[in-house]
Amino acid sequence: MQERLQKIIAAAGIASRRKAEELIRQGLVSVNGSIVTELGAKADATKDHIRVAGKPVRRGIKPLYILLNKPAGCISTVNDPQGRPTVISLLRARGVTQRVYPVGRLDYASSGLILLTNDGALANFLMSKASAVPRTYHIKLAGRPEADKLKKLESGIALDGRRTAPAVIRPLGELSQRDKPWFEIRLVEGRYHQVRRMFERIGLRVLKLKRVRIAFLDDRGLGPGQFRHLTAAEVSRLRKWSPQT
């Protein structure tokens, strides 16, 4: 069946339709060896050989978007040389056979939300600095932090020679009154072990860390190890995300 090229490219999970149109205009799309630059061009994904930036468009690949509540003791990678359980092996055990990849990571000891998809364009966007997608964590600390030190973390501190972006930190009600209190922290960047390293800089160890929210997606109804597929409306909202959203 003949379909517009941008629809075929989007359906293959390569890019959104708008981005696919840009790729066509740039002369990066070919059909049966011929470059196509007209947006009205059509092709048959079951018969024609379509390439984007030289790479073939895989036929029949349905974009997949999964929100997983990663348990602690699970690696946020496709595979692990040490044979530890991964987010992919967890999905496989629950019947997901299509190939997906994690968008960002949570360390082995941490738990909480992680997105997995085969939509490379969306994954790259969400992990880019420009998207400024907020990620919210609940953390248990080894001791009580001083207010002025929390303010420093919120304003930004130097990590790896770069200042961290402003963060929002607040106590979690009665849990924050304990000797080992709980706090919530919201970041718009995801550097290596960032939350743990930030609190180490003020002399406190993070005992537990759970990501409870990514942008507007939260962990309600998802127990450890459970997952759900994103709705079309949620995917569309993520594609259109901006820091002002």
**Is 192 a member of any domain?**
yes
The C-alpha atoms of residue 53 and residue 195 are separated, in whole angstroms, by: 37
| Same-domain check for residues 187 and 140 | yes
Contact between 164 and 156 under an 8 Å Cβ cutoff? The reply is yes
| Same-domain check for residues 102 and 40 | no
Among 21-30, 44-53, 135-144, 165-174, which is the least confidently predicted range? 44-53
| Same-domain check for residues 113 and 178 | no
Q: Please tell me what DSSP assigns to residue 230.
A: P
**Is 245 a member of any domain?**
no
Choosing from 30, 56, 82, the residue where a domain stops is: 56
**Is 91 a member of any domain?**
yes
Asked if 218 is an active-site residue, the reply is no
| Residue of 48, 80, 107, 218 marked catalytic | 107
Contact between 39 and 25 under an 8 Å Cβ cutoff? The reply is yes
Collapsed DSSP state (helix, strand, coil) of residue 103? strand
Contact between 113 and 67 under an 8 Å Cβ cutoff? The reply is yes
Q: What is the pLDDT of residue 127?
A: 87
User: Mean pLDDT over all residues of the chain?
Assistant: 90
| Same-domain check for residues 194 and 89 | no
- How many domains is the chain partitioned into structurally? 3
| Same-domain check for residues 138 and 154 | yes
**Is 9 a member of any domain?**
yes
| Same-domain check for residues 121 and 191 | no
With b meaning 16 or more CB within 10 Å and e meaning fewer, what string describes 112-142? bbbbbbbbebbbebbeeeebbbbbbbbbbbe
What mean pLDDT do residues 8-25 have?
81
Range of the domain at 52: 2-56
**147: CATH:** 3.30.70.1560
| Same-domain check for residues 147 and 203 | yes
Verdict on whether the full-model pTM lies above 0.75: yes
**Is 31 a member of any domain?**
yes
Contact between 213 and 136 under an 8 Å Cβ cutoff? The reply is yes
What mean pLDDT do residues 39-67 have?
84
| Same-domain check for residues 107 and 139 | no
| Same-domain check for residues 49 and 170 | no
**Is 47 a member of any domain?**
yes
Q: What percent of the chain has pLDDT over 90?
A: 64
**Is 204 a member of any domain?**
yes
Contact between 236 and 101 under an 8 Å Cβ cutoff? The reply is no
Greater pLDDT, 14 or 215: 215
**pLDDT by residue (tens digit) across 181-210?**
999 999 999 888 999 999 999 999 999 999
| Same-domain check for residues 121 and 170 | no
